[in-house]
């Protein structure tokens, strides 16, 4: 005796019967079809029946019908393995879910062969769009395959200016950090950057430009003796801060272009038996959760708006607009803790 085929679950026909409407009505309500007009009562009956029966749409059938799936691809170099940048995924996933979409995340570790394979696999799922994310803000070369599907570059910029990008407003962040120190009364404000200007790294160039703009607006010169260029690590922060703080005319405040550099500056101050912020005020950049709140005193810093950037990237995909080279810069908010106060004496 042949075994009966097990049911895979309630069907759209079952939902229609439970709601007392036609199967076509159920389909139109669940797919929010444009031009379809149903009373709020009808929509509620369908939704109640869906919930009561535990009905799930057939994603495969929808892909065959519409040519795209209910999935958005998220391809990153090292985003998924970077603790403070994981919020990018959180923001993108949250926004996708609000429209009933899933986020398919693939992390390549910067391996180009793995990136190509991951992208081919992702596109085979007929994703509705792709968020191409980078761990840090830079100008990058976008894979050619992305030009055939709605795509947005996240936390970086498309070097060829073909795809829209969402990135932090680095210059405004540098300006805000420096302005905060100036407003506290400091006039000898140093900066330890995370790269050289010749690198053309948007974070390094933008944060430096913000620093210089704030000083210029305050009527203060940009002194080369108060500017250092490191590589964004703790040791560079320590060495450059030691150099600055032991100079004949040391700064009363230091803007560090990332939190790891600020951590090194804290250690230099301690080595010299100086207090933060009593002898030197320090501002960082990133608001790295594993570091900034745990320094003593807590580090005042600029927060990279990862959640907001992730959300915005998905929103741009959902707008279904024509591809453009627009670069949308998002504000980095100042997170005030206890590493800034007024200088001990007027410089």
**Domains, the chain:** 12-57 (1.10.260.40), 68-168+306-330 (3.40.50.2300), 170-304 (3.40.50.2300)
In 3-state terms, the chain is what percent helix, strand and coil (to 5)?
45, 15, 40
Q: pLDDT averaged over the chain?
A: 87
Per-residue confidence at 64, pLDDT binned at 50, 70, 90?
very low
Q: What is the pLDDT of residue 322?
A: 63
Q: What b/e sequence results for 146-159 when a residue is b if at least 16 CB atoms lie within 10 Å of its CB, and e otherwise?
A: beebbbbbbbbbbe
The answer on pLDDT for 71 being more than 50 is: yes
Tell me the C-alpha distance between 247 and 192, whole Å. Answer: 15
End-to-end Cα spacing for the chain: 96
Mean pLDDT of 29-37: 61
CA distance 170 to 156: 11
pLDDT, tens only, 203-261? 999 999 999 999 999 999 999 999 999 999 999 999 999 999 999 999 999 999 999 99
Q: What does the pLDDT read at residue 112?
A: 84
Res 60: pLDDT: 44
C-alpha atoms less than 13 angstroms from C-alpha of 251 in its C-beta half-sphere? 32
Helix axes 23-30, 40-53, angle to 10 degrees: 90
Contact 151, 187 (CB under 8 A): no
């Amino acid at each position: 005796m042949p075994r009966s085929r097990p049911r895979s679950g309630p069907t759209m026909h079952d939902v229609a019967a439970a709601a007392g409407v036609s199967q076509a009505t159920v389909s139109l309500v669940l797919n929010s079809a444009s031009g379809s007009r149903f009373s709020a009562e009808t929509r509620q009956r369908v939704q109640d029946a869906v919930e009561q029966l535990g009905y799930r749409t057939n994603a495969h059938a929808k892909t065959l019908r519409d040519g795209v799936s209910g999935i958005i691809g998220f391809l990153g170099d090292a985003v998924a393995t970077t603790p403070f940048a994981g919020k990018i995924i959180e923001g993108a996933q949250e926004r996708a879910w609000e429209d009933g979409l899933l986020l398919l995340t693939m992390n390549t570790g910067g391996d180009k062969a793995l990136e190509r394979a991951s992208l081919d696999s992702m596109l085979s799922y007929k994703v509705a769009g792709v968020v191409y994310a980078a761990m840090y803000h830079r100008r990058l070369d976008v894979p050619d395959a992305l030009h055939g599907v709605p795509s947005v570059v996240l936390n970086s910029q498309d070097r060829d200016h073909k795809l829209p990008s969402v990135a932090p407003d680095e210059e405004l962040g540098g300006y805000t950090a420096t302005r905060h120190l100036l407003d506290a009364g400091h006039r000898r404000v140093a900066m330890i950057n995370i790269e050289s200007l010749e690198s053309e790294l948007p974070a390094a160039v933008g944060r430096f430009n913000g620093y210089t703009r704030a000083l210029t607006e305050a009527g203060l010169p940009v002194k080369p003796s108060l500017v250092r260029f490191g590589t964004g690590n703790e040791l560079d922060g320590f060495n450059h801060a030691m150099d600055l703080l032991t100079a004949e005319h040391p700064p009363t405040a230091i803007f560090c272009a990332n939190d790891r550099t600020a951590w090194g500056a804290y250690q230099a101050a301690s080595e010299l038996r100086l207090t933060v912020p009593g002898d030197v005020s320090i501002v960082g950049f990133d608001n790295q959760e594993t570091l900034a709140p745990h320094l003593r005193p807590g580090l005042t810093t600029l927060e990279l708006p990862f959640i907001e950037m992730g959300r915005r990237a998905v929103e741009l995909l959902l707008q279904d607009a024509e591809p453009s080279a627009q670069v949308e810069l998002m504000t980095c908010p100042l997170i005030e803790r206890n590493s800034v106060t007024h200088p001990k004496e007027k410089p």
